[in-house]
Structure 1
Amino acid sequence: MRTVLQRVSNASVTVDDKVVSSIGKGLLVLLGIEDADTQEDIDWLTNKILNLRIFNDENDVMNRSVQDVDGDIIVVSQFTLHALTKKGNRPSYIKAAKPDFAVPMYEKFVQVLEQKLGKKVGTGIFGADMKVGLLNDGPVTITMDTKNKE
C-alpha cells in the first residue's frame, strides 16, 4: 500500500457535482493498493496514519497526531500512486491492483481506520471520476509505502 497524506484545514470529494465527503481539520489520505498488499499492510499503515505526529501543539511544534487533535480523515483510492514511469512517457499501472482485489482491500482499510479512530472516515467513490478539493495546512505532505518502511 502506498499513501500520500496531506494535513488539511479542510478537504472534500465531489462526484458528478455532488459532495460525497467533506472534513474540516484532519488528514486527506490518497491510497494506492497493489496485489501484494495484506491485512498486515492495513494494520501497519492505519497505525502509522493515526499516530503520526504532524499536527502542531501549543508551542507550534509538530507533536500531535490526528487523534490528539480530534481531526477527521478522508480516504481516496488512487491507483495512479503505483505508476511506473521508468520507460517512456506514458505511465504503466500494472502494479496497481485490479478492482476485484482493490475494492475489498480499500473497504477493509477504511473499516479498520474507523474502528481505531472511533468515528466515521470520509471516502470517495472507488473508480469514479472524483474532484478532490483541499486546503493543505502547512503545507504538510508525507508519503508512505508499506513495502518500503522508512
Structure 2
Amino acid sequence: MKAVIQRVIRSSVSVEDEVISSIGRGLCVFIGISRDDTKKDMEFIARKILSLRLFEDATGRKWGAGAKDRRLEVLCVSQFTLCSALKGNKLDFHDAMPSDRSQQFYDEFLALLRSNYEADLVKDGKFGAYMEVNIVNDGPVTVEIESPRRNKPADQQED
C-alpha cells in the first residue's frame, strides 16, 4: 500500500464539474492499493498519515505536530496508478488490487482512519470516478509512504 501525502492550504475533489469534497488546511492523501495488501498494511498507512509530523506544533516549532495533533482535515483520494510499473513507456497495473476488491479495501481503510481520528475531519473523493483534484500546496511538502513488504526481514520493517 502506498500513500502520497501533500500538506495543503486547501484541496477539493470534483466529479463532472461538481465539488464532492473539500478541505481547508491539512493533508491531501493519494492512496494506492496493491493486490497483496492486508489489514496490517492498512493500519500502518493510517497510523502514519495521522501522526506524520508535517506541521508546526503549538509553540511554533516546525515539523513538531501531525494532522491529528492539530485537528486538521484529511482528504483521501484513491489512485490506482500509484501501484503501476513502467513497461517501456506504458503503465502496467498488474500490481494494483483489482477494482472489485480494492473498493471494499479502500472503504475499510477510510473507516479505520475515521475511527482513529474524528470522522468528520476525514473526507474522500469518489472511488473509481474520473476526478479533478485541486490542491494548493503548503510549502510545498510532499511525502511518499509505502507499507513494509512482508518479504522484508523483520528487523528492517518500520513501525
Q: What is the match of residue 18 of structure 1?
A: 18
Shift of 1:60: 4.4
Q: What is the match of residue 124 of structure 1?
A: 125
Q: Is the partner of 2:47 in helix, strand or coil?
A: helix
Q: Is the partner of 1:111 in helix, strand or coil?
A: helix
- Structure 1 segments, 4+ long, off by >6 Å, are none
Q: What is the match of residue 27 of structure 1?
A: 27
CA distance in 2, matches of 1:141, 1:20: 23
CA distance in 2, matches of 1:41, 1:11: 26
Q: Is the partner of 1:129 in helix, strand or coil?
A: coil
CA RMSD of aligned residues (A): 1.3
Summarize the alignment of residues 1-150 of structure 1 with structure 2, pairs less than 5 Å apart.
1-57=1-57, 58-85=59-86, 87-120=87-120, 121-147=122-148
CA distance in 2, matches of 1:7, 1:119: 19
TM-score (norm 1): 0.94
Q: Is the partner of 1:64 in helix, strand or coil?
A: coil
Deviations 1:71-123, CA, capped at 9 Å, x for gaps: 001110000001101x3111111111111110011000000000111222111
CA distance in 2, matches of 1:118, 1:38: 23
Gapped regions of structure 1 (runs ≥ 5): none
Shift of 1:59: 3.2
CA distance in 1, matches of 2:108, 2:60: 36
Letter in 1 for 2:23: I
* Equivalent residues, number: 149
Letter in 1 for 2:147: T
Gapped regions of structure 2 (runs ≥ 5): 150-156
Q: Is the partner of 1:75 in helix, strand or coil?
A: strand
User: Percent of pairs identical after alignment?
Assistant: 39
